[in-house]
A and B are shown apart, each in its own frame.
Chain A
Amino acid sequence: LAKTTQPISMDSYEGQEVNITCSHNNIATNDYITWYQQFPSQGPRFIIQGYKTKVTNEVASLFIPADRKSSTLSLPRVSLSDTAVYYCLVGAGNFNKFYFGSGTKLNVKP
């Protein structure tokens, strides 16, 4: 399984753009990169998934460089309700095994 490395925590202020980078040096050719959000005492919730270049949806953007050894989740104009743990997940491909890692705890301040 491709392991992931993320910062343990990040602080931000309301209205700022937040970028969380994930390192996955051993990503396999068939692996996708997925990001989840988790609030305390709840199950993770899907944010975005990509394979290469850039993917954007209504809540976030995902930037993946050509070598795919890292990825960056971009959250535009965060609010207090974005305070959560964010997980970078590498997997699927042919085996559908997943490694979540420890996540990044984002703390948004007023």
Chain B
Amino acid sequence: EAQVTQNPRYLITVTGKKLTVTCSQNMNHEYMSWYRQDPGLGLRQIYYSMNVEVTDKGDVPEGYKVSRKEKRNFPLILESPSPNQTSLYFCASSPLSAGGWSYEQYFGPGTRLTVT
């Protein structure tokens, strides 16, 4: 089944304790992206990647890191989480058109992170 998976689905952690949220897709998509969703703010893009070893900042990259060492995986790293990073996080992937733009994004089930 074509899908985007995220782990963990739920995580409660403390301020400053490094954590990684994994994202994996089995559709051979070039494009992957991370979003956070907060009440009243919709989805905001954190980072995205056009292909292996190619990443770029989205709208709200502060406090986050990403890496793209393999095409299928795009982990989100919080080096020193803070309470304002408490949010619902979504990973997404998409094929790229011949012109290099993302068409339909497929979203994972989400990771609910609480930082105390």
Contacts and interface: CB of A to CB of B under 8 A. Distances in A.
Query: Does A associate with B in a complex?
Result: yes
Interface of A: 1, 30, 32, 34, 36, 41-46, 49, 87, 91-94, 96-103
A45 B105 CA distance: 8
A41 to B, nearest CB: 7
Contacts of A34: 104
B39 to A, nearest CB: 10
Interface stretch (B12-20, B63-71, B77-85, B95-103): B95-103
Interface string B26-69: 00000101010000111111001010000010110000000000
Given A87-B43, A92-B101, A94-B101, 7 more contacts: A43-B90, A43-B109, A44-B43, A44-B105, A49-B103, A97-B56, A97-B58
Contacts of B56: 97
A91 B106 CA distance: 16
B42 A45 contact: no
B43 A46 contact: no
B59 A99 contact: yes
Contacts of B107: 42-45
B92 interface: yes
Given A43-B110, A44-B90, A97-B58, A103 B104 contact: no
B108 interface: yes
Nearest to B45: A98
A41 B112 CA distance: 9
